[in-house]
Structure 1
Amino acid sequence: MIQAPYGPQTLWPEHVLQHTEGSAFHPALSIPHAELILRKGFRRHIDSYSAFLENDHTTPTGLAGYLRERNLARLFLCGLAYDFCVRYSALDGHALGFETIVVEDATRPVNLGASIAETDEALAAVGVPRIASNTL
């Protein structure tokens, strides 16, 4: 953990590096209907957990505007990692006025310290529901 200009920052090992196999979509994933592939975490001076805002909590990624232009108001979030990227995306999506739902069994956590319990508490505190995928 270090103190960055925008606040505390966990230092992670290199992962999902641009232009590497680790950043590629799974070869079996077929999404010809996808309109947007949002890239985040590419700025050297700031990390990015949320799909909506960089970790300074002010620099937008453009996702909120993209969704609003299309009159999309409800989000179902899943993926990696439950206790970081999914958590901060859910909190920011909710704060930006979107109906936000986390599909919990379609996520996986890092489980760093008390990060899972803290995520559960943070989502509950603002009323973001966690559901199972079989309820969809």
Structure 2
Amino acid sequence: MDTLAFEELLMESFERCGHKVTRNHRSTGDGGVDGEVVIDGSIWLIQAKRYVDTMQPEHVAAFENLCRTKGRRGLFIHTGRTCLQSRAVITDGSVVQIIAGRALLVLLTDGSLPMLAPPINQVLPEKTPGRLL
């Protein structure tokens, strides 16, 4: 499946759930955000990756940093295997959640979202003087 077709399939799945979606129609120069979805009043950034093999932990880390910079939570949705190094990037204080495997299949087949972590009090940039994350 083409990368843009995969992104569109995800956006349509969110819309079937009744969520408002904003698409990023640029495939290059999109700043790492493929779209946005509003879930329970919160805007989530979406990064869609169509991997053939194992996902890349540096992609997850870059998306985590991007979400923190923009002050938003993020959904990293991918088709590959999630390795331990990638899972290690997502910690208790992370603003990004990974959707893959069975959760991705459920999203695509019946439009249901996996249980999302409760919102953190405030999403802060990674380095804010005088604040602990």
Where is the helix percentage greater, Structure 1 or Structure 2?
2
TM above 0.5, one fold?
no
Q: When the two structures are superposed, what TM-score results if normalisation uses the length of structure 1?
A: 0.36
Name which structure has the greater RCO, CA cutoff 8 Å, separation 6+. 2
